[in-house]
Amino acid sequence: MKTVIFDLDGTLLDTLVDLKNAVNHALNYFNLPEKDLEFVRKAIGNGTTVLIKRCTPSSLNDDERKKVFDVFKKYYLEHYDDYTHPYEGMKEMLENKLKGKVSLGVVSNKDNDLVNKIINKEFPGCFDIIQGSYLDHPKKPDPYLINKIIKENNLNREECLYVGDTDVDKDSATNAGLPYLLVNYGYRTKEEMKKLCPNDTTIADIDSLYNEIIKWVKL
């Protein structure tokens, strides 16, 4: 059975408002200027540590930035699902169209325990493989997490497809030697993806994504 590995934020789930709220809670705590939704959207992609670095003033040192991150993390762990929801049509595609025909996986730069909580809440029993990140190990676009999935689940690399929504996802798949599909309904627009990945065609909606997955799977 072939395997489709999905990115989480901006691909499976719209997590933007909860991330923005957590960022601004931490910034407010330290009397730092808030960031609007658009800024946070563009800052997402390399994990929450990098997100906080992009959202805090460059004048902060590493210790100060870590304190902001710790406040962000504590708040986000308590409010990660206030507004988070699957993109329209995603749950139906996974549960009613793909489940049982392909093995389903998810890989995220979010903390592994949190990824498991989110997926088990939003898509209970749907995913065969759930993989988040660890504090002292590389995050995407490093291939570590994808390679871990492939090794631990005895997968054939040639039978794995990666689906994501940013240039980080493209680089993650390329670094791991996987074919990939890129969507533009998530945290990068069609125009942004055209600049970031000029040689790739991106996918605008869930129905089109399903059709492309089926073409690859050759069901």
Q: Name the residues annotated as catalytic.
A: 7
Strand pairing category for 103-111 and 180-182: unpaired
Q: Which residue has the tokens 């100060």?
A: 64
Q: Which residue blocks in 89-157 are alpha helix, DSSP H?
A: 90-92, 112-122, 144-152
Strand pairing category for 129-133 and 160-164: unpaired
Angle at 10 (CA atoms; ends 6, 11), nearest 5 degrees:
30
Q: Which residue blocks in the chain are alpha helix, DSSP H?
A: 16-29, 37-43, 48-55, 62-79, 90-92, 112-122, 144-152, 167-176, 190-196, 206-217
- Could you tell me if 12 and 87 are in contact, meaning their C-beta atoms sit under 8 angstroms apart? yes
List the beta bridge partners of residue 42: none
What are the φ/ψ torsions at residue 183 (nearest 5 degrees)? -105, 155
